[in-house]
Structure formats: structure tokens, C-alpha cells
Amino acid sequence: MTGIVRIETKQATPNLNLLKVEKPQMAKTKSYDYIIIGAGSAGCVLANRISADPSVSVLLIEAGPMDHSLFIHMPSAFAWPLADDKYNWYYQSQPEPHMNGRRMYCPRGRVLGGSSSINGMCYVRGHALDYDRWAGNEMPSWSYAHCLPYFKKAETWQYGADAYRGDSGPLHVTDGLCANPLYQAFIDAGVQAGYPKTEDMNGHQQEGFGHMQMTTHKGRRWSTANAYLRPVLGRPNLTLRVKTLTRRILFDGNRATGVEVHRAGKTQVIEAAREVLCCGGAINSPQLLMLSGVGDGDQLKSQNIAVVNDLKGVGANLQDHLEIYVQMACTQPVTLYSATKPLNKLKIGLQWLLFRSGLGATNHFEAGGFIRSHKGVEHPDLQYHFLPMAVSYDGTSAVDGHGFQAHVGPMRATSRGHVRLQAPKPSTPPAILFNYMSTEQDRREMRAAIRLTREVFAQDAFIPFRGDELAPGRAAQSDADLDAFVRAFGESAYHPCGTCKMGLATDPLAVVDENLRVHGMQGLRVVDASVMPTIVSGNLNAPTIMIAEKAADMITDTAPLPASPSTTYSSVNWQHQQR
């Protein structure tokens, strides 16, 4: 593995080929106390917290470029980085057997800030019982009581601190203005349909309809690059390298000793005196571990990779959120459709550039909801993102006319997939299979999601705005009809996780322990969404940041924050009523 590489980009090619082999040239070896691989949602947090100790040296490595694009920092332009591979690994899944054989789009950030620089900026923590479920697998330090203090530590909440929210963290969290009347109509319709209203879906009560929150600050995207990294880049003990591809982790026996990287036409070995921290995310972290000889021994041998540690769980247990759009025509010209016209887009852009305000300063997901699909479900298993426009998430397919939609889907799917190597080199994208909708429970929950959404849109609050149902369409009524619609039009919510599962060494699929150390290894941890044993009930950016905040205390041997006594809402009739 001595070939020298130059990072290139090709526009919108699913089988992205990032590397071009050139003449070998070896750069001088360097050494740091900690090497962090991936400057994303977790890596930037660790870089900030670990380098706060001036006695240690920290190297942060990012494969992608700096985030110097207005389309990254302008919240309403989040679809632009999703459109090609400039700031995005631009992955595609293998043909999904239960989704009409479609290859499903799986964007992952390849830029400073990682996926926090290209995501939809929705701030959602998940439900308290998600974390208690982790703790129930003999990992007590991951209960909600132990995680809540780190959610609070990370954030500065627009409305100040309380028992659930923080007011002095790096991550700014704001409410949307909900100026468009369709947002309030959606919240009111949810209440009219019999669901509660929640004043803070990240506080005491997740269940219900209410305002959504976003990671923006003064009209700008507040990625972890902006929140955690930029304020500390002047520290002399912190080094950032962008456009630097980590080829593999190096080992001496079972101890991680450094990494091999390619940067600016040179290959280089960089030593880690203390730890290598893998923060590449749910796709890239297992890929890198496998390229380094840590993974399922039989799979590694088939790729002619020497086995350092036979861990069957690396790349297994892949989970994600699948969603569909229930779309309605709108009878009044109040949607975002007018904003898509060229002249209006220019006006929106200028207002944002000059004042950081207006429609450019929001992600437009300003209202949402969490409901239970059936009686007997203890906490919400369906999530809504409401959008006052009928368009696909990445902006590639828009209805020609005024419309609105609810993104909805199961939050705790039982389908499991995997990430595997296609070739023993990082230039070949891994084979990703989500296996969406492979279980009857997942199909049942998705059918309920569509039918319950139709009920919400049928409420009186939408009388002034409701036109015909655009999707799935009135003709789609039977289970078979709805299943066919999901197979044809379901999309990822871009929340992959679970591929380096946290758990006991006796768990055959566990990759890391309760302290995120890779089982059987020394000096190596994984800190990102891949360590989630089970997916949480909501978007994954906020939980990933929390995981990194918690991991930083583990890595620096800092006493953990005291557990919180805060309680959470639960419907008193959940065993017998759906709402």
C-alpha cells in the first residue's frame, strides 16, 4: 500500500473513484498523542474537547475539503451539497431486494463538519427510552439520565436553560419562525386528530405535534465545524489536515499505533502515542476498520487482507430510517413553490447574504410531530417533518404547483443491513445494503404512517388549504397498494447507524465496549453513529454529538457528569390506545 494518491472528484457518479495512483513518494513520519479520523459531527467535538489540555497534541484528519461554500452555510440551500460529490461521498446502496431492486441514495459528508455540513439541520435528540434501552443491555452509563447532561452540555438553546436544555454549549439550537400559515395548520390538525401538542419535543415531552428545532445560529448553518472546531483552530496543540485520506489504521500486535494517509501526492505514516479515534461515520468507520484488518475474518481473507482482529460485527447491524412523503395540493398560493422561481430565488439569496434573514435562513422543517403507530407502543415510533412544499428531500423532484407534504416513517425499524468491502482499497466504495422493509413489522408501521397522516390532513385546520392528494393518491388504499407505493417511492432519511455496535464482548455483533474501545484492541476507539446498538427515535446528528461529548470525558479520563433526575412524558393509555 505504497502507491501515492491524488484526491479527485467526478460529478454525480454513484461508483465514485476518488484516487489516482501515481509514483510512490514517502513523506516523513510524524507523531501526535491523539489522531482523530474524520472531522464530522463527532470528530470536531473530540478535537475541541481533547485539545483543551495544552499538554497533549491532537491531529484531526478529514478526507474532504474546507467548507467554504455559501450553499453549505445558507440553511435553505442544504439540497445543493446533496446533488453531487463535491462535499459528499455520494454513496449508493446495493439493489434493495424489498424496494423493487432500487439502489438507494446514501449521502455522507466529505467536507469539514462532515454530515453536519450537508444535513437538513433538524435538531432531534430521540426519546429517553431509546437510551434506557441501550443501558438495559448491561451498559448502565448510557441511560437517558446519564446522556441528558451531555445533550445539555453541548447546546445553547434559544430560550435558555431548564431541566432538559442547555444555555452555554457550542451548538446553537433555534426554533423556526413558523410564519407560513401551513405550519400552524399542521400542528392544529394534529391536535384536532387527537394527538397532544408538545412545547418542546426535545424536552419533557417528545410525543405530539409542535415546532421543530434546527442547528442554526444568526441565520447560518451551525455545523460542528462552526460550533466546535473554528473557535479552537488557533490552539498550537491542534492540527487540522483536510483533503487527507486515511488508507488504514496501523497496529503493533493488538495496539493501534498510527495511520497511513495520502495527502498532496504523498503517502505518510503518522504515529499515535495514545489513541486512534475513528470518527468516520456509519459507512466509513467499518470500511476503514476492515481495510485495516479488523472485521469478519472470512470476509477479510476473501479480500486478501491480513486479519488483525476477527470481529464479526464490523459492518453488520446497519440500520436507517426510511420515509415516504404524503403530498397534498394546496389551494392557496402560500407554499414555497413561488420561492423556486429564478427571480425570487435571487431575492432570497440577496436577503440572506446581506442580512442572514428571510427564507434563506431556515431549513423549512419548522413543524413536526411524533406519534405512536398502534396501541401497545410505549413511545412514539413514527416521526413527521412537515414541509410547505411538495418536493423530494434532495430537491431533484418537485411538483409543478403549490403543495405541501409530510415526511413520515418508522423510527425503530427492525430491518437490518450491512456494510462490506467490495475491494481491499479505499478507492472502491463499500457495498451497502440496508435491507429496507424486509420485515412485516416495518411494512405494518409504514402502512399505519400513511393512513394516520391522511387523517391529520383531513382535519378542519387544513380546510383553507387542502386540495387533492398527490401522493400516494386516493386510489392507493389497500395494504398491497401502500406497500407498492413504499417500494417505489420510499427514501432514506439519511440516518445510517449501528455498524460498529456498542455492547458486551459476549455479544457476537458488538464491536466496541461501553467506553467505545474496540473489543480486543488497545489504543483504538470508534466514536460516531456507528456505535449505536439500536437506532434512536429521531434524527441522528444531535445524538452523535452527545456521544462524542460523552466519549471526550472517557478519553481524557474526566469524571462523568452527574446523572440527571429529569422525568419524561408517557401517555397513560399507551397500552390500550393509539392516541
Q: Is 495 a catalytic residue?
A: yes
Contacts of 545 (CB under 8 A, 6+ apart): 41, 42, 45, 116, 154, 171, 224
Q: Which three-class secondary structure state does DSSP give residue 340?
A: helix
| CB count in 10 Å sphere of residue 354 | 9
Instruction: Give the containing element (helix H, strand E) for 229.
Output: none
Write the CA distances from 47 to 70, 166, 262, 496, 541, integer angstroms. Answer: 24, 21, 21, 23, 17
Question: Which of the 8 DSSP states describes residue 225?
Answer: I
Q: Which of 146, 495, 519, 576 is catalytic?
A: 495
Note whether 292 and 248 are within 8 A (CB).
Answer: yes
Distances (CA, A) of 458 to 80, 94, 356, 494, 497: 33, 38, 36, 29, 35
Bridge partners of residue 210, in order along the sequence: 368
Long-range pairs for 449-455: beta carbons < 8 A, 24 or more residues apart: 449/324, 449/373, 449/382, 449/408, 449/409, 449/410, 450/324, 450/326, 450/408, 450/482, 450/485, 451/482, 452/371, 452/373, 452/382, 453/326, 453/384, 453/406, 453/408, 454/326, 455/193
DSSP 481-521: HHHHHHHHH-EE-S--B-TT-B--TTSTT--B-TT-BBTT-
Check if the beta carbon of residue 98 is closer than 8 Å to that of residue 409. Answer: no
From the list 555, 506, 576, the residue with the least C-alpha distance to 138 is 506
List residues bridging with 502 in a β-sheet: 512
CB-based contacts of 371: which residues, under 8 Å, 6+ apart?
190, 195, 207, 208, 380, 382, 384, 452, 579
CA distances from 456 to 291, 328, 523, 578 (A): 48, 12, 52, 14
Q: List, by residue number, the catalytic residues.
A: 495
